[in-house]
Chains A and B, each alone.
Chain A
Amino acid sequence: MTQHSSNNVILVDLSETIAKRWHWQINVSINAQLSECYVECDRNNLLELCRWLIYDMEYDFASLIVEETAEDWLLRYIFYGEPAIEQVQLCMRLNKTEKAVPSISRIIHAADWHEREARDLFGLVFEGHPRLVNIVLHEEWPEEVHPLRKDFDATKPYPHRQVDPSWRPHSFVQAPGAFMMPIGPVYADVAESALFLLESVGEDVIRTTPRFFYKFRGVEKIAEGQPIDRVLLLAERFSGTSAFAHSLAFCQAVETICQVEVPPRAKALRVVFAELERFRHHLAAIAGICNSTALAVATSQAGILEEEALRLSCSLTGHRYLFGLNIPGGVSVDLSHRQCEAFSYGVQALFHKLERLFDMLCYSSSFLDRLEEVGMVSKEQARSYGLVGPIARASGIARDLRKVLPYAAYAEVSFEVPSEDEGDGYARLRVLFREAEQSMKILRGLLPALPEGEATAPHVVVKPGGALGWAEAPRGVTSHWVRIDEEGRVARYHLTTPSFTNWHGFHLAAEDFAYQDFPIIMATFGLSNAECDR
């Protein structure tokens, strides 16, 4: 309760500061329950507000959400506070005839990809953007066709444009002997589709230009006009390896709109499943790192642990990747006392094996040589790119939404947010391991003491409105913006995913290292293209 009232004080202070600074010419409102502060801005004060939030108040940019209404464009810029516990939303309404929007990318580098995405999907032109080229849409898309516009027909294929066969990607490195090595979109053994253009003059990669959205399934567009329970399936299945976290963020957005009170047992169970997913994901990520360094026994050992975690998930919830658990108002599966005991024991046993493996890895010099001081991301870089999740925490930014903006039952759970300062591959491995340890501890603490009661709210009445739902997915912050119309159907669904945010900063780590480090750097990032491309 004290935390809640101190939140209020911060929010009221913040709103007054903003209003005063802009001479009471600006509309500021707060929502204490959601720890949100809304600022209505226009094209004249947007840049100034952003600059003030970023440089004076040390806020971090999280997302840009564009909505198209009958008359306006509604642009919503979301910022998170570093130490404080609130988020700020800058809302800007523009007449629909205007396509030009001032770009904030020169002030906030993290907004770069978000603005490029909005350009592709809506056709907005961000004036002053350093490099406003396509990101989502590939070369076959005709000019002036923007799939998220309301008048775009999502059911039919779009008219393809003939691609000039002599087209080559732009190379930045101009030097004698410079060459470009394309990797992808089909490469390695079981790699997700993406194209990496590596430019080099010899051994070291000088410039990395990744190209994503090969897996663009248009989730945000096909969700439009669909009922909630259908969009829930999309939220769950667009990124199968972090399905629970994403469905949780979506359900929380819906619950905020429909003002559903989630029972305490459901909140606790959500923490349980979310931590199980994090634990399993981190095991898989550690297995990926071992595999990238060609340490065969360690890869096998980590693979055994991953499969055991998958089997544990399946035995408890029915599904190996925790599909079909979240529903608006709670979770569809309850755990019996005996299941909780088996679960708690199973996770602990898995963690002991992981601990043993990790100890051995820390004494394998051939392994450490490949990770230490490889794929460096400094704290300044991480902040400038707005990196999230274990990658940011390995570069000294110990932010975790579970602590900063607690959702589900996280406010009642005690845990640590591990962080490291080095920002190299080894730091990322250590963060993954220590986060898995924290997940195990959360599960061990929570499972014997689940609150009694129902696992779902009795009745959910769908209401119109818009809200943001967020969660700390295994790879970092995810936020889902959901707008429900009068008929109870989804009018706008926007996903900000940790992989999208973090791939933006990937080139920082991959540049100035040798070619053979590239797969290792990729494995230590452990990102998902399905999550990025949507």
Chain B
Amino acid sequence: MWKWVWEGLRTGIVTTAYPAREETASGVSPGFPAGLPRNFAASEQAEAVVSCCPSGALGREDGQVSFHEQRCIHCYRCLRQLTPPLEWHRQGNYEWAVPPHPGTEREKKFGKSFRRSLHLRVIDAGACGACLSEIEQLNKPYYNMHRLGFFLTPTPRDADVLLVAGPVTDHMRLALLKAYEAMPAPKGVLALGTCAISGGIFGSSFASLGGVSGLIPVDILVPGCPPPPLAILHALLSIVGRVQPNMGATAASPQGGKRHD
């Protein structure tokens, strides 16, 4: 026993300083494309950029190329299969959580008493496993969400927030609905990853509903495929009002992923 205690002490603290300070370690986020071509959408270069994106994250809006974080699946085709490639912005780029209807004043669902005690139930509604693995990281030393007052709970009856990952498969529809109904009020729902936001690469089909919002109301979206642990942490902190959600990058905003300049 003492050996384990000593081993734990010997390792020291590895936990990130986020949200007090920005996390600067490399490899904490897959990042998003940046540096979109500024010329008009009709140009050849813009056409190449838009057509290389398989998920529709790079599109055209108001005569310019725009980027929608919520659709990006990190396939890196705009970085690796495009000449010239788009820049890719990784360092410090993880504060992605965004309310589903930005611009409108969000109702304050969780009051002060939830700020340092929020219980979460994870629902796997067809996730590929990477989103779930990232949630598990939150419970481990590098991110340690306990220090911020977030706890996983095994039952939805004790949960304040549902973390839903995956495109919501038809077979998980009833289970998700029942879990949502079993929660006490106020209930929050967090759509985790591109699949949970829009169905992602699986879309909506005979087997999946194409996102959580088609079934239950969603409070906050976390883009990414999968969203890195820090992005999930940002979403949790913003749902209890401890940090501001990312209001700049909206579905309608043409300037896309440029926020950390």
Interface residues of A (CB under 8 A from B): 138, 140, 147, 152-158, 185-193, 213-219, 221-222, 229-230, 233-234, 237-241, 243, 284, 287, 295, 297-301, 303-304, 306-307, 310-315, 318-321, 323-324, 327, 332-333, 360, 363-364, 528-531, 533
Contact yes or no, A189 B139, CB < 8 A = yes
Contact yes or no, B8 A188, CB < 8 A = no
Q: B14 to chain A: which residues have CB within 8 Å?
A: 304
Contact yes or no, A241 B129, CB < 8 A = yes
Bound together, the chains give a CA A530 to CA B124 distance in angstroms of 10
Bound together, the chains give a CA A364 to CA B124 distance in angstroms of 33
Q: B74 to chain A: which residues have CB within 8 Å?
A: 318-319, 323-324
Contact yes or no, B73 A153, CB < 8 A = no
Contact yes or no, A310 B205, CB < 8 A = no
B54, B127, B179, B206: the one within 8 Å of A233 (CB): B54
Q: B35 to chain A: which residues have CB within 8 Å?
A: none
Bound together, the chains give a CA A222 to CA B167 distance in angstroms of 14
A498 smallest CB distance to B (angstroms): 13
Q: A229-B54, A240-B226, A319-B76 are in contact. Are A221 and B206 (CB under 8 A)?
A: yes
> Is B109 in the interface zone, CB < 8 Å from A?
no
Bound together, the chains give a CA A213 to CA B126 distance in angstroms of 9
> Is B31 in the interface zone, CB < 8 Å from A?
yes
Q: A191-B124, A324-B77 are in contact. List 16 more A-B contacts (CB 8 A).
A: A157-B170, A190-B122, A190-B152, A193-B126, A219-B202, A221-B205, A222-B203, A240-B133, A284-B133, A303-B137, A304-B14, A307-B140, A312-B27, A319-B30, A320-B27, A323-B225
B9 smallest CB distance to A (angstroms): 10
Residue of B nearest to A189 (CB): B152
Contact yes or no, B5 A297, CB < 8 A = yes
A476 smallest CB distance to B (angstroms): 15
Instruction: Give the A-B pair count, Cβ closer than 8 A.
Output: 213
**Which residues of B in the span 73-112 have a Cβ within 8 Å of any Cβ on A?**
73-77, 79-81, 88, 90
> Is B207 in the interface zone, CB < 8 Å from A?
yes
Q: A186 to chain B: which residues have CB within 8 Å?
A: 121, 123-124, 156, 175, 179
Bound together, the chains give a CA A170 to CA B81 distance in angstroms of 53
Interface residues of B (CB under 8 A from A): 3-5, 7-8, 11, 14, 25-31, 54, 73-77, 79-81, 88, 90, 121-137, 139-143, 152, 154, 156, 166-167, 169-172, 175, 179, 200-203, 205-208, 225-226, 228
B160 smallest CB distance to A (angstroms): 16
Q: A215-B126, A217-B126 are in contact. Are A310 and B135 (CB under 8 A)?
A: no
Most B C-beta atoms less than 10 A away, residue of A158, A215, A287, A315: A215
Bound together, the chains give a CA A214 to CA B124 distance in angstroms of 9
Bound together, the chains give a CA A185 to CA B172 distance in angstroms of 8
Q: A333 to chain B: which residues have CB within 8 Å?
A: 80
Contact yes or no, A300 B141, CB < 8 A = yes
